[in-house]
Amino acid sequence: MKKYLISSCLLLSACSNLPRNIENTPSIDISYSQAMQNINSHKNTVVRWGGVIIDVENKQYQSFIQVLLYPLNSYGRPQIDQSSGGRFIIQSSTFLDPIVYTKNTEVTVFGPLAGDTERTVDKRILKLPVVLSQTIFMWPKYEPDNYYNSYGGFGGFGSYGGYYGGMRGGWGGYPYYGSGYYSPSYGPHHRHH
């Protein structure tokens, strides 16, 4: 019982450190399927979507992350044990280092829909919705050995060891971009020429 009480306290503490717009559903919650039916009617509507990074592409003044969409849990973390719902693009005016934003990393974004763009996937051209990032949050990796054994199966937060060590922007060194700060080395306060 004591073990579960400690886990509950850690879970609440971890949740309180999430960026507010990642943890909370937008007041008008547009689903991926709604956006795809008529993207132009939903332009500038704020969404909170997440999934797993497929690819990062950097241009001179913008970065693009292609994401395989998954439904989010109540804290905004992608539920990768569910079925994927499609693909979308995160567009950022900040350089997103592919060494940091690696493939298969879980990510949640908050920002307005900007329309759609085309990407070629296995010789097929797909139209993908584009989200202009106001906040991008990368989730720490689960530690499966400790996930259920140490914390009684509290969904979404796995082992807490990685959340608090280092405290560089996000939890335990995991980048959090938005609301004026970004880690590890790029962002609004670090200009690159």
Helices 144-151 + 2-16 axis angle, to 10: 120
Which residues on adjacent β-strands are paired with residue 106? 52
- The pTM for the full model equals 0.69
Per the domain annotation, does 185 fall within a domain?
no
End-to-end CA distance of the chain: 55
Q: What is the H or E stretch that residue 57 is in? A: strand 46-58
Per the domain annotation, does 188 fall within a domain?
no
* 60: Cβ contacts below 8 Å, ≥ 6 apart: none
Give CA–CA dist 76/108, Å, rounded: 7
Q: What's the CATH number where 20 sits? A: 2.40.50.140
3-class SS at 90?
strand
Give CA–CA dist 37/75, Å, rounded: 26
Number of domains, the chain: 1
Cis amide bond preceding 184, omega within 30 = yes
Give CA–CA dist 53/70, Å, rounded: 11
Per the domain annotation, does 15 fall within a domain?
yes
Per the domain annotation, does 70 fall within a domain?
yes
Per the domain annotation, does 147 fall within a domain?
yes
Per the domain annotation, does 11 fall within a domain?
yes
Per the domain annotation, does 163 fall within a domain?
yes
- Residue 181 confidence (pLDDT): 36
- Residue 118 confidence (pLDDT): 93
What is the separation of C-alpha 135 from the centre of its chain, rounded to a whole number of angstroms?
8
- Residue 142 confidence (pLDDT): 74
Per the domain annotation, does 102 fall within a domain?
yes
Give CA–CA dist 59/93, Å, rounded: 10
* 27: Cβ contacts below 8 Å, ≥ 6 apart: none
Domain that holds residue 163: 2-178
- Average pLDDT by consecutive 10-residue portion of the chain (193 residues)? 43 64 90 93 96 96 97 95 95 95 97 95 93 96 56 37 30 44 36 39
* 80: Cβ contacts below 8 Å, ≥ 6 apart: 51, 52, 70, 106
Q: Which two tokens stand for residue 29?
A: 């919650």
